[in-house]
């Protein structure tokens, strides 16, 4: 369909989610924005192939996901988030304790196989149905379900099962308690 | 857009505090095997906190400008649209 004003607005409205998806996949803010930019250019160049009334976010996510995967094959994840470049993209800087836990979560997410990570993000964070996520990833619905389950199990093992002692009161919790108790 | 509805959740810091505080109140989870509902919910919280923090940043100017620029219809030189039928290969 032609690029109407409302379609352009809809594409712009998808940008925040596309960025979140790109950052979750790549773990790198700068690279994520390049991915989003390339996604938008591709989408606009191919706007005629978009079916009016179909799921625009899913269409855009599909483009981004495919770009990421072809890019990934070329240069792997050579830029890990060792310097906290992801955290720098955050407007609200978490406090020290929350920041540490956030980094742990980020690191655990990075340890997942790519198939599982993208499935978990699409379903668990982007809010896509299993059906939409399957269409975006070009696989069966059952495959998405099993990838999401395996992703959750692996994160659980990495973060909680072997690290139960991490959940004792720490700086963050004490700060909260202290703040409430006066 | 439906996805914009995600904006209503709290900040990363707030969610992390809630997750931590809840975990602190509960008895130690111990060496559980398998995925309890509580752990599932914790993972979901953290995942969305990470994601929504980026969503809340909105649309950076560079993307607004990008879409705006492409909005202006302009002649594509590669199509040979010179307005001259001979140059356009229309002999």
Please state the three-class secondary structure of A115-182 as a single string: HHHHHHHHHHCCCCCHHHHHHHHCCCHHHHHHHHHHHHHHHHHHHHHCCHHHHCCCHHHHHHHHHHHC
Backbone angles phi, psi at A125, to 5 degrees: -120, -45
Q: What is the pLDDT of residues A46-89, one digit of tens each?
A: 999 999 889 999 999 999 999 999 876 666 545 444 445 555 55
**Which chain B residue has its CA at the smallest distance from A43's CA?**
B67
Q: What is the rounded average pLDDT for all residues in chain A? A: 82
Q: Do A1 and A48 touch, CB atoms closer than 8 A?
A: yes
Query: Over 70: is that where the pLDDT of B81 sits?
Result: no
Q: How far is CA A50 from the centre of its chain?
A: 24
Contacts of B34 in chain A (CB under 8 A): 153
Query: Over 70: is that where the pLDDT of B34 sits?
Result: no
Q: What is the pLDDT of residues A3-14, one digit of tens each?
A: 888 888 999 999
Distance from CA of B65 to the nearest CA of A (A): 10
The band of B6, judged by pLDDT with boundaries at 50, 70 and 90, is very low
Distance from CA of B85 to the nearest CA of A (A): 26
Distance separating alpha carbons of residues A158 and A108, to the nearest angstrom: 6
Residue to mutate among B11, B13, B32, B45, with most A CBs inside 10 A, is B13
Q: What is the pLDDT of residues B44-63, one digit of tens each?
A: 999 999 999 999 999 999 99
**Which chain B residue has its CA at the smallest distance from A162's CA?**
B31
Is the Cα dihedral A92, A93, A99, A104 positive or negative?
positive
**Which chain A residue has its CA at the smallest distance from B29's CA?**
A164
Query: Over 90: is that where the pLDDT of B88 sits?
Result: no
ipTM: 0.75
Q: How far is CA B28 from the centre of its chain?
A: 34
């Amino acid at each position: 369909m032609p690029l109407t004003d409302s379609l352009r607005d809809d594409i712009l409205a998808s940008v925040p989610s596309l960025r979140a998806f790109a950052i979750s996949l790549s773990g790198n803010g700068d690279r994520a924005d390049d991915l989003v930019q390339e996604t938008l250019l591709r989408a606009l160049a191919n706007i005629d192939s978009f079916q009016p009334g179909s799921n625009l976010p899913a269409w855009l996510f599909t483009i981004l996901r495919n770009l990421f995967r072809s890019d990934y094959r070329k240069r792997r994840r050579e830029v890990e988030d060792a310097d906290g470049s992801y955290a720098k993209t955050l407007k609200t800087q978490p406090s020290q304790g929350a920041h540490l836990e956030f980094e742990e979560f980020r690191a655990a997410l990075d340890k997942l196989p790519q198939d599982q990570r993208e499935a978990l993000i699409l379903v668990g964070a982007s809010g896509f149905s299993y059906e939409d996520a399957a269409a975006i990833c070009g696989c069966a619905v059952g495959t998405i379900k099993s990838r999401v389950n395996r992703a959750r199990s692996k994160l659980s093992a990495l973060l909680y099962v072997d690290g139960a002692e991490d959940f004792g009161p720490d700086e963050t919790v004490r700060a909260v308690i202290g703040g409430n108790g006066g | 857009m439906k996805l914009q509805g995600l904006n209503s959740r709290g900040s990363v810091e707030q969610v992390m505090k809630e997750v931590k505080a809840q975990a602190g109140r509960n008895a130690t989870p111990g060496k559980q095997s398998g995925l309890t509902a509580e752990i599932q919910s914790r993972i979901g919280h953290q995942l969305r906190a990470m994601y929504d923090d980026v969503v809340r940043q909105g649309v950076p100017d560079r993307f607004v400008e990008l879409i705006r620029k492409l909005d202006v219809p302009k002649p594509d030189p590669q199509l040979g649209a010179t307005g001259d039928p001979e140059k356009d290969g229309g002999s």
